[in-house]
Structure 1
Amino acid sequence: MLLVYTQKITPRLRYTFKHLITRILGIPVDFTTKIETFIAHNEVKMSYIKQPLGDEFFVRSHDLLFVQGIGEVEISIQQWDETPCFFPAGEKSTVPYDIFAASFYLLSRYEEYLPYVKDEHGRYTAAESLAFKNNFLSTPVVDIWCQKFLKIFLERFPNVVPEARNFSYQPVINIPVAYAYKKRGIIRTFGGFVTDIVRFRFSRFIERFAVLLSMKDDPYDNFEAFITLHKKYQTKAYYFFQLGDYSTYDHSISIYKNEFIRLIKNVSDYSKVGLLASYESFTNIEKLKVEKKRLNTTINKPVKRARQHYNKLNVPQFYRNLIDLEITEDYSMGYCDTNGFRAGTCSPFYFYDIGMEIQTPLKVYPFCMEYGGEFEAEIFTNEIMKMVAQVQEVKGTFIPIFHNVVLSERNVEWKEMYINLLKEYSNA
């Protein structure tokens, strides 16, 4: 048990130390504000204050964990060996940076509470972030800082044996549209034929006819094949189904169609299933509630996980909506147009609500890549392999986001990449 002496035990401090020291590094931690208790403690201990008491393991504290609310924070990026870091702690500090305050800044998404320029979908973009502006978005800096801290810590306390953790690979598959042609209704099917003709997509026109006449499989209907693959490589994929009403950005098949219901039930028997919250539910908790109820009814299980379609994540409101609906896992923490670690980490963490100054029960599973059609598969794969290597080194969780549309026979290179990732990083 590590005992931390500090002048004030705040919710921010408790949250950050528990996550970094206990959840990431596997060392139990407790706190005290009494000097006598700290001095009398003859086992593992450290101080987190402005000046050291003696020659103890000491980290000079930044003010961020001791204040409330949001304000401008002065940040100057420096290099800790080859890793970017901020909030330097000075020469007296055993560790050169206050990684606790810096980690809280990234994990809480502090910068997303500040004013920023939204894109056309109302989203916070990667270009607005501290990590993007300082070229460390593709690096899980929080986890690397923890490993650097641990190395220094174990030199002082060699008898400490941290609880081991392992690298894990956790693929996520979005299902915004289950089928390319099947079960889309008369009006949408007729409109599809007309669009094919107008845009001279004659091969697709023929393919549509063949599928509707049961002469050919629907190109998006690869669910059984991938369930078999996941079984072979002993990997639990996470499928997120979009069950919102039809709109400009939501083209899902009606939840009232029996084949769609059977599909979701079948997938849920072999994989983890969650809600792909619709574009329209971005700021509408009532729509979100309806969509959650639809999935609950379909799988006859409580819906515990969700992610936002188009990655329209607005902190903290969307997370507050999930908590109100008793959803306990979120998979929206990332960028849909840029690879990287939005919260600076490859480790799942509990969302801290700065507005309420509390750690919430919502666990955030950050992803670092989502397929984007504008990328070439080879270039995209090279970027992914670099990030996987970093996640492996810190024994984190690598979460990529794919779409069933991307994994169809129309996109052979992307399908091969998905299968290769399974072969390389699965539990088989």
Structure 2
Amino acid sequence: MLLVYTHKITPRLTYAFKHICTRILGIPVKFTTTIEDFITHDSMKMSYTKQPLSNEVFVRSNELLFEIGLSDIDINVHDWDDTKCFFNTSEKSSLPYDIFAASFYLLSRYEEYLPHVKDEYGRFLASESLALKNKFLHQPVIDIWAYKFKAILQAQFPDYNFPQKQYSIQPVIDVPMAYYFKQKGVMRTIGGTFNDLLELKIRRLFQRYLTIFGFRRDPYDTFKWIINKQKQTKTKFIVFFLIGDYSTFDKNINVNKKRFISLIKSVSDYCKVGLKASFFALEDINILKKEKLKLESITNYELEASRHSFSKLNIPESYRNLVELEVKQDFTMGYINHTGFRAGTCTPFQFYDLDYEVQTPLQINSFHCIDYAFLKKHSLLDKRQELEQLIYEVKKVNGTFTPIFHNYTFGDEDRWKGFKKLFTLILDSAHENK
């Protein structure tokens, strides 16, 4: 166990230390404000305050972990070996930067509470982030900092038996529309037919009716392939189904259709099933609750995981609603047009509510890439290289790699050519040596 001496124990301090020490490094941590307890402790210990007590491991504390509420923070990002960091300390400090305060800033999404430019869907943009502006979005910097901290502890306490964590993957499959042509109902099919004719898309018109009459598979119906892939790997996929009402933003199948219900049940026999919350559920907890209860009635088990439509987050309201409905995990945080680490980590973490200054039970699983982000790369080789680099960064720190693909990504549409291979590459990475 690591004992931390500090002049004041705050929720922010315990949150930051537990993510670095316990979740990333696997080291139990406790805190004390009593010097006598610190001196008599016979295992690993460090001080986190303004001045060291003697010759112990010491990190000079930044004020951020002792503040309440938001303030205008002046951040200067510096190079640190092969990574970057901020909140520099002092010559007496064992670390040149206060990695605990810096980690809290990134994990709490402090910058997303501050005024910022949003896109047309109201999403926080990567271009607004400290990480992209300072060119460290491509690294899980918090995990890298944690291993630098571990090296210092190992040098000071060589007899301590440090646990070893293993690289893992958490594949996510998003299903905003289970079928492209099938199960749409008469009115939507007639509307689609007229659109095909008006836009002179005769090939799509043929495909529509060949699919409806059962002569060819629906282009979005890739679930047999997904289930076969699931059978070949021990890691459970999480498949998020959109079951909200039809709207301008959400155009899935009616959840009352027997074929759709049967599909969700069959997928849940092999994979974990989560809720893809509809666009309007993001603003209305009553709609969210209705969708949660409906999915639970289909799967016959309590909903554990959610993901928001369009990867939209309204921090902190979105997460507060999930906490209130006792949803345990969320997979919404990430960027649509950029790969990388939005929260600076590849280790799942708890949502910290900055307004209430409290750590919540909701676990955030920030995704590191989404299929759309790879479309910027023209060749399959470029896509593969970017994906392999991401996997390499996560493997270096024994983290959890979380990619998001869609059911239609595994179809035959030209722009998704080769994406089955990319998904398979991710699955294979879990069985390779570092």
Residue in 2 aligned with 1:76? Answer: 76
CA contact (8 A) 2:268 2:299 kept: yes
In the TM superposition, what is the alpha-carbon distance from 1:226 to its structure 2 partner? 1.4
- Paired with 2:200 and 2:422, the residues of 1 have a C-alpha distance of 30
Unaligned regions of 5+ residues in structure 2, if any? none
Quick check: 380-389 or 96-105, which moved more? Answer: 380-389
What residue is the counterpart of 1:136 in the other structure? 136
Share of identical aligned residues, percent? Answer: 49
The match for 1:422 is 427
Aligned counterpart, 1:409 = 412
For residues 269-348 of structure 1, the aligned pairs below 5 Å read 269-348=269-348
Cα offsets for 1:20-53 (capped at 9, x unmatched): 1111111111111011111222321100000111
1:358 equivalenced with 2:358 (yes/no): yes
More displaced 10-residue stretch of structure 1: 372-381 or 412-421? 372-381
Kindly report which structure 2 residues correspond to 1:8-157, keeping only aligned pairs within 5 A, or say none: 8-157=8-157
Deviation at 1:381, TM superposition (A): 2.5
Cα distance between partner residues in 1 of 2:304 and 2:285: 16
Retained in 1: the 8 A contact 2:167–2:430? Answer: no
State yes or no: 1:176 paired with 2:179: no
Amino acid at match of 2:102: A
1:40 is matched by which residue type in structure 2?
A: T
Residue by residue over 1:226-267, the C-alpha shift from the partner in whole angstroms, topping out at 9 and shown as x without a partner, is: 111121133311100001111111001000000000000111
Would you say the 8 A contact 1:409–1:415 is kept in 2?
no
Q: Using the alignment, how far apart are the partners of 1:241 and 1:375 within structure 2?
A: 28
User: Does structure 2 conserve the Cα–Cα contact (< 8 Å) formed by 1:234 and 1:426?
Assistant: no
- Tell me, yes or no, if structure 1 residue 205 matches structure 2 residue 210: no
Greater shift, 342-351 or 215-224, is seen at 215-224
Cα deviations across residues 274-319 of structure 1 (Å, max 9, x unaligned)? 0011112221111111111111111111111101110111111100
How well do the aligned residues superpose, as a CA RMSD in angstroms?
1.4
Displacement after TM superposition at 1:426 (Å): 5.1
Q: TM-score, normalised by structure 1?
A: 0.97
- CA drift at 1:321: 0.5
Identify the range of structure 1 (175-184 vs 34-43) with the bigger mean alpha-carbon deviation. Answer: 34-43
After superposition, what is the alpha-carbon deviation per residue over 1:330-383, rounded to whole angstroms, capped at 9, x for unaligned?
001111121111100000001111111111000011111111145434433221
- SS of the aligned residue for 2:350 comes to strand
Separation (CA, whole Å) in 2 of partners of 1:252 and 1:346 = 31
**After TM superposition, which residue ranges in structure 1, 4 or more long, deviate above 6 angstroms?**
none
- In structure 1, the gaps of 5 or more residues are none
* Secondary structure, aligned partner of 2:178: coil
- Equivalence for 1:393: 396
TM-score of the two chains, using structure 2 as the length reference: 0.96
Contact 1:27/1:162 (8 A) holds in 2: yes
C-alpha distance in structure 1 between counterparts of 2:216 and 2:44, whole Å: 66
Cα separation, 2, equivalents of 1:424 and 1:105: 31
- Please give the residue correspondences for 1:127-276 in structure 2 after superposition, counting only pairs within 5 Å: 127-276=127-276
Q: CA deviation at 1:145?
A: 0.4
When the two structures are aligned, how many residues end up with a matched partner? 428
By how many angstroms is 1:421 displaced?
A: 2.4
SS in structure 1 at match of 2:333: coil
Does structure 2 retain, via aligned residues, the 8 Å contact 1:47–1:57? yes
Deviations 1:106-145 (A, max 9, x none): 0000111111111111111111110011011111000000
Could you tell me whether the CA contact under 8 Å between 2:236 and 2:272 is conserved in 1? yes
